[in-house]
Amino acid sequence: MATFRVRQKTDRAVLPQQLALEFESADNPGSRDETGLEDHHRVVPGAGHVREETRTVSPGGAGVTLNCRVGEEGRESHPYVLVLDKHHHPLQPCTPARARKLLKKGRAVVHRHTPFVIRLTDRTIAESEVDGVEVGVDPGSKHTGLAVFTMQAAERRARFAVQLDHRGAIVRKKLGQRAAYRRRRRSKNLRYRAPRFLNRRRPDGWLAPSLRHRVDTTVSWIDRLSRWAPVRAVHVERVAFDTHALSAGRPLEGAEYQQGTLAGYEVREYLLAKWGRCCAYCGASGVPLNIDHIHPRSRGGSDRVSNLCLACVPCNRTKSNQPVEDFLAKKPKLLARIKAQAKSSLQDAAAVQSVRWVLWRALDARLPTHVASGGRTNVNRTRNHLPKSHTLDALNVGKLDVVTEVVSTVLVAGCAGRGTHCRTRTDNHGFPRLRMPRQKRHFGYQTGDLVRAVVPGGKYAGCYTGRVVVRSTGRHQIPTPAGPANTSYKNLTLLQRADGYAYTSRAEGRL
């Protein structure tokens, strides 16, 4: 069992987390600010000796130096390779080095390019030892984190991570445009078309298309991972924010999450996301942040979330109990921006709140699904000294003691769609600009296919890999570091058919 020794402030305003936030602020005379952070010492059990190292951890992953004792197992590794047997049944993921050996010896073939999956040619699942993996899900409004990990006695080792970028805002925009086109038909000198927006009965549990998209894409990726890896269970975070608790401006009676040591977590975590984890007045990041009342409480200000912002300790002390109009009298643009941002809606929080139970039911119908709170995720991530990200939150969802391994690279899957039914393109004024061909595939390629281009000469000579944009002339477009390049379809090699996603990768935070 891992042992954690954390020396923390006893002030009720400081949570045991990297992002120090205080309810006590300088706009109330006589209140005290906590500005220090204590050192966190962690012992991770390893197979051998233990090494000493100094690490920097803070709201953005930098700023506070911590002295940690990290075992040999606490390390960062490359993402594992997903493996299938010769009958396409999922096996235990293997290391990249072992995958290269299997491919070199001819014992495996490439089953899929992105995510990279190999298929063994000489082994079945009956001949293999499969321990299974589990998947953590951190649902969000714009991004959802997925982490594949192995579980051994409450110790987690990450094997693969995916950040799913939703396109709910684009779906909402397209539906608004379609509604505008249909309304226009009723006011023009065209054949009368009766309105039909009230003659369709919505079934129970109906979600708006932009919200349904978030559920469908998340469930679709769980199904994909289940086909490529032996997934045994799913851990999903319910929600980090409660819009009712945020809007009430007062403690809600009978709510368990407001009675324990994580009281006020929803407000604090929401403010961190709303203000970008930086000071609203000076923009400082990577420093301890206080919760500040825009209109001071001593002058009649309320505790509603629309009256709260983040402030670093110097700004909070300088502002004290001044009205924000006086404090920013010489910065009218900043004052206008803060007031506008403070009144922004709870749209993202409401989106996550609306789909949480639908997502849980959909996942539970497929695999054993364990539900956890956002407070537990935050404490787990902080205890393991991990920076804030969707995939690392997914890795820390649920009950665990220690994370002994994280992946160095995260696969980012952006929902790019599968094309459009519209046969024209319009200009900024709505007039048709050009007509689209009725067929999507030209010379064997379709827009969105993952290809490798070998350009023999010219300005864009070289070898490139990316998503192709096809043209009926055969001069397809491929992305290059110097910009999009047009090349003949004869120079392209198909790697993977379009599946509605655009794939990139990014480096993940260190353990």
| Strand ranges of the sheet holding 81-84, from the earlier edge strand across to the other edge | 90-94, 81-84, 117-120, 108-112
Domain boundary, last residue among 415, 437, 458: 415
Q: Distance between CA 378 and CA 388 in Å, rounded?
A: 9
Confidence of residue 74 (pLDDT cuts 50, 70, 90): low
Quote the pLDDT of residue 70: 33
Q: Are residues 480 and 401 in the same domain?
A: no
CB-CB contact of 227 with 90 (8 Å): yes
Quote the pLDDT of residue 240: 54
Q: Buried (b) or exposed (e) across 82-105, using 16+ Cβ within 10 A?
A: bbbbeeebbbbbbeeeebeebeee
Average pLDDT of the segment spanning 80-94? 95
Instruction: Identify the CA nearest to 86 among candidates 116, 112, 118.
Output: 118
Higher local confidence (pLDDT), 219 or 274: 219
Q: Are residues 162 and 85 in the same domain?
A: yes
| Residue 40 belongs to a domain | no
Q: Are residues 440 and 503 in the same domain?
A: yes
For 75, 135, 404, the CA distances from 151, given in Å and listed in that order, are 16, 10, 10
What is the residue range of 105's domain?
77-167+209-241+348-415
Q: Residues 6 or more apart from 194 whose CB is under 8 A from it?
A: none
CB-CB contact of 165 with 415 (8 Å): yes
Q: Are residues 218 and 354 in the same domain?
A: yes
Q: Are residues 216 and 353 in the same domain?
A: yes
Instruction: Identify the CA nearest to 133 among candidates 148, 123, 144.
Output: 148
- pTM for the full model? 0.69
Q: Distance between CA 422 and CA 329 in Å, rounded?
A: 51
For 371, the 3-state DSSP assignment is strand
The CATH number of residue 376's host domain is: 3.30.420.40
Q: Are residues 459 and 497 in the same domain?
A: yes
Domain boundary, last residue among 398, 415, 432: 415
For 486, the 3-state DSSP assignment is strand
| Residue 499 belongs to a domain | yes
The CATH number of residue 440's host domain is: 2.30.30
Looking at residue 320, its amino acid is: S
Pair of tokens at residue 306: 């629309």
Lowest mean pLDDT among 70-79, 381-390, 443-452: 70-79
CB-CB contact of 268 with 291 (8 Å): yes
Look at phi and psi of residue 61 and say left if phi exceeds 0, alpha if psi is from -120 to 50, else beta. left
| Residue 343 belongs to a domain | no
The burial of 310, by beta-carbon neighbours within 10 Å (0-12 exposed, 13-18 middle, 19 or more buried), is given as buried
Q: Are residues 230 and 126 in the same domain?
A: yes
pLDDT exceeding 90 applies to what percent of the chain? Answer: 34
Pair of tokens at residue 71: 């075992």
pLDDT (tens digit per residue) in 316-356: 999 988 888 889 988 889 988 888 888 776 666 667 777 88
Domain boundary, last residue among 395, 415, 435: 415
Q: Are residues 458 and 402 in the same domain?
A: no
Q: Does the pLDDT at position 146 exceed 80?
A: yes
Q: Fill in the DSSP letter of residue 491.
A: G
Confidence of residue 174 (pLDDT cuts 50, 70, 90): confident
The burial of 465, by beta-carbon neighbours within 10 Å (0-12 exposed, 13-18 middle, 19 or more buried), is given as middle
Confidence of residue 378 (pLDDT cuts 50, 70, 90): confident
Confidence of residue 64 (pLDDT cuts 50, 70, 90): very low
**Total domains in the fold of the chain:** 2
Quote the pLDDT of residue 43: 32
Q: Are residues 218 and 88 in the same domain?
A: yes
Confidence of residue 264 (pLDDT cuts 50, 70, 90): low
Higher local confidence (pLDDT), 442 or 243: 442
CB-CB contact of 12 with 22 (8 Å): no
Q: Distance between CA 368 and CA 78 in Å, rounded?
A: 28
Higher local confidence (pLDDT), 1 or 395: 395
Q: Which residues pair with 444 in a beta bridge?
A: none
Q: Are residues 213 and 118 in the same domain?
A: yes
Quote the pLDDT of residue 358: 87
Average pLDDT of the segment spanning 260-266? 49
Q: Are residues 499 and 361 in the same domain?
A: no
Quote the pLDDT of residue 406: 92
pLDDT (tens digit per residue) in 393-436: 999 998 888 999 999 999 999 998 887 777 788 888 878 888 88
Higher local confidence (pLDDT), 259 or 115: 115
Confidence of residue 197 (pLDDT cuts 50, 70, 90): low
Q: Distance between CA 2 and CA 20 in Å, rounded?
A: 24
Q: Which residues pair with 469 in a beta bridge?
A: 477
Task: Dump strand ranges (E) for 50-209.
Answer: 50-57, 64-71, 75-77, 81-84, 90-94, 108-112, 117-120, 133-138, 143-152, 155-165
Quote the pLDDT of residue 453: 93
Quote the pLDDT of residue 398: 86
Q: Does the pLDDT at position 22 exceed 80?
A: no
Average pLDDT of the segment spanning 463-473? 90
Angle between helices 265-274 and 374-383 (to 10 degrees): 70
Question: What is the pLDDT of the chain when averaged over all its residues?
Answer: 77
Q: Are residues 489 and 360 in the same domain?
A: no
Looking at residue 160, its amino acid is: F
pLDDT (tens digit per residue) in 478-499: 988 888 888 999 999 999 999 9
